[in-house]
């Protein structure tokens, strides 16, 4: 069974099933289609499936031409999970958010595997890419697969290979970002490495699914802790009248032993604000308190409140209150130059300002209409920036520093700019650093 699947991967006759066609699954689909595999994409969102089958993209940095090319190479998208029997591999790329108690929400992963279980068969390789706590693959997925009578490592295979996407980064693609892979058994590992080696330049094997799960958490906790550090230093530097961005730029000239991380209005994206809590939650099972990680999470989660306090102080100096002020938030995606809204700190800023009585609007060239989100709701469209529109707001809050913004125009015409990204290097009467 193992050799048959390896042969099908090698001669590209294997059908690649990808479950979840979002920011992770869609680029992966394009890469498998590019090298000559037939790809079958699964998603519970009929709108996404319809868009893809019509040759349309719903992710800004993925063009419709890429979707059309994939369709011409045999790609299909469907909401019919019974078609999983047609695929040789099932790669799960579904969300792993937190619930309202900041605990792991594995419902998307578990609902997905439960939907697939009736259609699992001998010869299937299942790969989980969703970030999660160590133990998820062998504690949750393994018993579900074996409930079908399959023997994982013998006639079916299971690996964990965490996604490493960086939307909007032109320097790295799905192909060039090294891929970590851990299998439940050596046979699982061999097949997982063979599968990903067909489309990724470098695959990094690790000893187990748990090691692979922990690797992904370490990558993101590393960023979260270091961003927490510079966010805390930003507050101290501000009290001392020092520009933390100037300090970081100077420190970054050291050619060894220092990596620059930058403060901001909070953490965004599908990884950095969420993943540390997956480890802190699981660590409690072993009687371990992850104080370092939780402290960084506390600092980072307080940053929107800090920024709002800077807005309030800046307006107060101009004899205005947040209540009744017109505030324009610049950039509502979680990072510059993308349309990705997941866990965006800008949305928390908008909600806090709205709750304090501000009349909130936003401008974002990448997000023309405020999207439907699970926990946030605004009936707003992006405001076009002009000298007149900028001058009409009591405060312009720079939350995400997209390159498409005309920063000279903003500085020239806004009554007040609160800069949470350190974009403005020179001091000005109408600019306040946050």
Comparing CA positions, the residue from 16, 22, 10 lying closest to residue 76 is: 16
What is residue 125's predicted lDDT score, i.e. its pLDDT?
Answer: 98
**CA 379 – CA 371 distance, rounded (Å):** 9
What is residue 269's predicted lDDT score, i.e. its pLDDT?
Answer: 66
**CA 46 – CA 31 distance, rounded (Å):** 23
Strands, sheet with 203-206, edge to edge from the N-terminal-most edge strand: 76-78, 38-42, 15-19, 89-92, 125-128, 157-160, 179-183, 203-206
Residue reference for tokens 């906790």: 221
What is residue 89's predicted lDDT score, i.e. its pLDDT?
Answer: 98
Strands, sheet with 359-363, edge to edge from the N-terminal-most edge strand: 359-363, 326-330, 395-398, 417-419, 431-433
| Rounded alpha-carbon distances, angstroms, from residue 132 to 113, 123, 128, 188, 281 | 15, 25, 9, 19, 11
Three-state SS for 169? Answer: coil
Q: Is 188 a catalytic residue?
A: no
Q: For strands 89-92 and 15-19, give the pairing.
A: parallel
What is residue 272's predicted lDDT score, i.e. its pLDDT?
Answer: 67
pLDDT tens for each residue of 137-155: 999 999 999 999 999 999 9
Could you tell me where the beta strands, DSSP code E, fall in 277-426? Answer: 326-330, 359-363, 395-398, 417-419
Comparing CA positions, the residue from 133, 125, 337 lying closest to residue 220 is: 133
| Rounded alpha-carbon distances, angstroms, from residue 292 to 132, 284, 286 | 19, 14, 17
Contact 89, 127 (CB under 8 A): yes
Please count the residues of the chain: 434
What is residue 377's predicted lDDT score, i.e. its pLDDT?
Answer: 87
What is residue 428's predicted lDDT score, i.e. its pLDDT?
Answer: 95
What is residue 69's predicted lDDT score, i.e. its pLDDT?
Answer: 97
**CA 77 – CA 358 distance, rounded (Å):** 43
Residue reference for tokens 């609160």: 418
What is residue 102's predicted lDDT score, i.e. its pLDDT?
Answer: 81
Q: CB atoms < 10 A from the CB of 377, how many?
A: 11
pLDDT tens for each residue of 336-347: 999 999 889 999
**CA 133 – CA 114 distance, rounded (Å):** 19
**CA 216 – CA 227 distance, rounded (Å):** 17
- Enumerate residue ranges in the chain where pLDDT < 70: 269-272
pTM of the model: 0.92
pLDDT tens for each residue of 378-406: 999 999 999 999 999 999 999 999 999 99
**CA 365 – CA 125 distance, rounded (Å):** 41
Three-state SS for 260? Answer: coil
The catalytic residue among 181, 188, 271, 395 is: 271
**CA 400 – CA 354 distance, rounded (Å):** 18
Contact 225, 293 (CB under 8 A): yes
């Amino acid at each position: 069974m193992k050799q048959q699947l390896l042969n099908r991967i090698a001669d590209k006759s294997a059908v690649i099933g990808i479950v979840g066609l979002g920011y992770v699954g869609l680029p992966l689909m394009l890469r498998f289609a590019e090298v000559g595999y037939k790809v079958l994409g699964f998603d519970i969102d009929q709108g996404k499936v319809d868009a893809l089958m019509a040759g349309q993209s719903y992710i800004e940095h993925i063009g419709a031409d890429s979707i059309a090319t994939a369709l011409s190479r045999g790609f299909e998208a469907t909401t019919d999970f019974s078609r999983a029997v047609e695929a040789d591999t099932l790669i799960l790329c579904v969300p792993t958010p937190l619930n309202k108690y900041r605990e792991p929400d594995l419902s998307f992963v578990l609902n997905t595997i439960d939907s697939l279980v009736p259609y699992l068969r001998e010869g299937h390789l299942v790969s989980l890419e969703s970030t999660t706590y160590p133990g998820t693959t062998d504690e949750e997925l393994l018993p579900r697969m074996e409930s079908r009578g399959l023997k994982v490592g013998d006639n079916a295979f299971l690996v964990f290979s965490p996604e490493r996407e960086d939307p909007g980064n032109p320097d790295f693609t799905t192909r060039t970002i090294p891929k970590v892979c851990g299998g439940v058994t050596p046979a699982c590992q061999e097949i997982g490495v063979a599968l990903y080696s067909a489309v990724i330049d470098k695959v990094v094997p690790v000893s187990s699914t748990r090691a692979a799960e922990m690797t992904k958490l370490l990558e993101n906790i590393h960023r979260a802790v270091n961003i927490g550090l510079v966010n805390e230093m930003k507050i101290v530097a501000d009290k001392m009248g020092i520009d933390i961005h100037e300090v970081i730029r100077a420190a970054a000239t050291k050619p060894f032993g220092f990596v620059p991380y930058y403060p901001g209005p909070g953490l965004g994206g599908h990884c950095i604000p969420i993943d540390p809590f997956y480890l802190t939650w699981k660590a409690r099972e072993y009687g371990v308190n992850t104080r370092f990680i939780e402290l960084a999470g506390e600092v980072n989660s307080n940053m929107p409140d800090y920024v709002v306090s800077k807005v309030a102080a800046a307006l107060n100096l101009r004899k205005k209150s947040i209540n009744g002020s017109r505030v324009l938030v610049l950039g509502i995606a979680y990072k510059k130059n993308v349309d990705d809204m997941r866990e965006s700190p800008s949305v928390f800023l908008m909600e806090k300002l709205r709750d304090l009585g501000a009349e909130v609007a936003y401008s974002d060239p990448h997000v023309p209409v405020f999207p439907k989100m699970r926990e946030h709701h605004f009936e707003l469209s992006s405001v076009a920036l002009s000298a007149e529109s900028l001058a009409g707001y009591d405060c312009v809050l720079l939350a995400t520093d997209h390159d498409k913004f005309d920063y000279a125009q903003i500085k020239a015409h806004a009554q007040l700019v609160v800069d949470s990204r350190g974009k403005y290097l020179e001091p000005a009467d109408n600019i306040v650093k946050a």
